[in-house]
Structure 1
Amino acid sequence: MSIAHPEVALQAITEAYAPSKLDVFGTDRDFDLRLHVLRIPGITYGHIRFGTDVRVTALPPSCYVVCFAPSGGLQVATTRSVQEVSGSKGAVLYPHEATFFENWSPESELVSLRIEDQYLERGLVQLTGEPMREPIRFEPGCDLDKAGNTSFRRALRLLEAELTDVSSLTQNPTGGARLAELVTTSLLLSQPSNYSELIHKLTMAVPVGPTRTAQELIDADPMSISTVGELASRVHTSVRSLEHGFRTHLDTSPMAYLRRTRLTRAFRDLQVADPSMCTVRGIANRWGFRHLGRFARCYHEAFGEFPAETLRSVRR
């Protein structure tokens, strides 16, 4: 979307994000709003640039916002802090807090990740296994180059890659939910907050019971599980404890175990399928693999042959 008129631009910003105020300080001839917004459950991901200096006054949102400027730079100010946003250095904003996006350089492009407050707070409860005692308060500055933020940086890259791929897992509601959970969990683990100590406290003993129950649920019906948060809820433990239990007792992660189980079911189906009646795509979709190329790579890594080779195999 390209818009050269400020009033029309303000309407587009309001529709894409929230009610705002727009002041243009640069020349009108340089004003050129470029806006691109994509959504998955619980998350809105957007790119915005103006081509000149502006100030966007955003009314208090009902969501958490993480923003970066991969090109150029600007200031993001609230009543608590002023953050210089440029390159790897970003800002984290709370719900119900007015924000000013100002001092844009002409080449500035702002990338924002808006996470619904209830969605992020539910993720925190799943991660810790404990009820919230107060709202989440992140540190206002975020640096993707810091060692502790590596996983969040990778999650953001994956999010953008999947959102811009027409055949991505986000085209499937289950795939979108998994990706959203990955992003929110990596943010909670990486960005310092008033819950960091609780999130990162060491678990002295890892009971085998929840891990065994989760394993049995996956084995019984691997298509009934969509996310690690859902699995943790069904076995009445936290995401972190379940992840720790799988690493300790099974030397893998819950989602890796789920993926391997689905691959194994697909392998068995391909072994007995009639090539004249069945296709690789149909069997892959049956077990939740929507991206055929990615399925073939994972399948080859697991079994040493490609799905089509199994389907054609004379072992039948």
Structure 2
Amino acid sequence: MLAVKIDSAALHTQLERLVDAPVSTPPQLAPQLDVTSGAGRSWAELAKIVAADAHNSHALVRHPVVAGRLQEALITGLLLAVDHSYHETLTRPAPPCRPAPVKRAIDAIEAEPAYPFTAAALADVARVSVRRLQQGFQQHVTMSPMSYLRQVRLARVHDELRMADPGCFDHPLGRRRPVVFFRRILAI
């Protein structure tokens, strides 16, 4: 029989890293893990190797660099092998990672959509040429940076209008963000 004790904070932290999102409730792990086949067996074999070497004071599993990676591997393996409340999220394919320049431009747009960005200003934020930023957006976002900016602006205005008092005809939004085509906004 093999018994493994895992710190709940370490499990929580590793789960957040794997799903790339905050985890508000601790995962409810299934009470049993089949260690006779599949991922459960692989995880149990890894745990046995670590446990067998843990009593040797000169073993690599005791070296801080190796120990940290083995701990991470054991926790990740357990999260992949056992059924729990986040298992489906964890095993779903992750969305593709956007390149850093595209991410920097998107972060700037999301943080300040009202800022009068130009393609050149966004390229400066992204630390690439305008052409390279446009190619990156086309490849990873399937639109130009300026189209993305317009989409974010329209979505924000639409959200504000939806939350406004329906009887209010003199909304501060009209003074803050003069928009000519209200039908276009409301059609979103």
Q: TM-score, normalised by structure 2?
A: 0.48
Structure with larger Rg: 2
Higher helix share: 2
Higher strand share: 1
Q: TM-score, normalised by structure 1?
A: 0.30
